Structure 1
Amino acid sequence: MEILKVQNVKKVYQSRRGASVEALVDISFTVNKGEYIAIMGESGSGKSTLLNILASLDDVTEGEVKLEGVNYQNIENDQLAAFRRKHLGFVFQDFNLLDQISLKDNIFLPLVLADVSLKEMNAKLKGLAGILGIEHILEKYPYEVSGGQQQRAAVARALITAPSLILADEPTGALDSRSAQELLDLFAKLHRAGQTIIMVTHSVHAASKAGRVLFIKDGKINSEIHKTNMDEDITQQIFEMQSAAVAKRSTV
């Protein structure tokens, strides 16, 4: 079942000197419920711009984005924050946790903003904390735990609203190799449970864990890889795609 539709999306920025800069040229793709997708591309390719548009944090210049049939352009500005809380979960490279409050309270923040009762918040967290293995650190502050544990808390915060879509921005970028692998194992577990995930990453290893990899170059999706099954190792294919892109650039 289709959950996200991106159709003919174009994004143009105006520079300080008045020149037009095309960040996205013509992006179209669909995402089915339960898919796990990685987006790769060099710096400046447009992948961060695309992620911001999927997050409803930036507007398209042309085209449309629909999540569960809702066109972002039809959402009033005063309703956008509520839409994000209900439908989108975010996992960032630098965790974006508040050091002044406990991990538990950080996780609760989206529910607090949605006026959910404390009883309901605790009920939602109970099962989630067990799945993520963070029951024993909930009362600690972010600076008291490891980067991997902080990222697990950030994942809990993203999941606690039961979002339609998880958007992850370089989620392994600030983690050591062991913590990064633990996070990828967690994403795989969430994917098997039916969670839809879109991850922007520079990491070939991280991208290889997704079921589909989209490659962005110069504001366009210029290629993609589909796994035939989630056990398939597509690491070599990703390297070959990257090598081909570098070779093509060097001949221009």
Structure 2
Amino acid sequence: MSANVMRQYMEEIKKRKDLIVYLIQSGLKAEHRNSYLGYFWWLLDPLLGVVVYYFLISVILDRGGENFAVFLVIGLVSWRWTSTVINSSAKSILRYSSIINQVYLPKAIFPVTGTFSQMVNFSFGLVIVALFLVIFGVIPGWQAIYLPIIIIVQLVFLLAISLFLAYVSVFIRDIENLLTHVVRILFYSSPIIWEGGRLPEEYQWVVDINPIAHLVNSYRDVLMYQVSPNFLALSIILAASALFVFSFLYYYSKNEYKIIKAL
């Protein structure tokens, strides 16, 4: 019975492929709709982040190291995808409450499309990464072929986070206020602007158990250091995330009526 419910739910999602494409496109347009530079912010935002942190850490604090700008841009671009999904997913269902109350739609569509919209933004960030690689003469090795695998792992990981936060936020509206602090903690506990190996031995476990740290390090491994990523860590992240995605989709299929009541 549960398998049939899940199958029917996935069929309902597949039937709305046109809506999914529309929601992804509208999400991209809405992000910078009222800004003067528009879509150019997709390139400018990660670039400004690199300039700020490079000036703070390398110029003022006199830290960093060889190719620190490249190190920063890879970390900040990969982090930006994560942080934007976390911040936006809390509103992904609530934002469309008026539509949900009028027409039946699988509610999982909304956090899923939000995650894919941010993946498009991430692809523009990769343009900035490529630009920095060229400017600083950092040539990726053959290990760059693993880049799509890392992107897929991060996508599934963020889908799990998005599905969870979107559902919980419907019932606990205050969670949105906590996310600002959660995102800040995740940022500073991950090697975005610092190298994981610089932590004291007793705190190394923070990096070891942090999936965001493994994803960021994997991008740097294949694009900057010419080494293969930690496939064991990526496999664990992918397997756990896929399990959570499946579990959350099943939970959505069984409890969507609760979302409608809460809205």
TM-score (norm 2): 0.23
Which of the pair is proportionally richer in strand? Answer: 1
TM-score (norm 1): 0.24
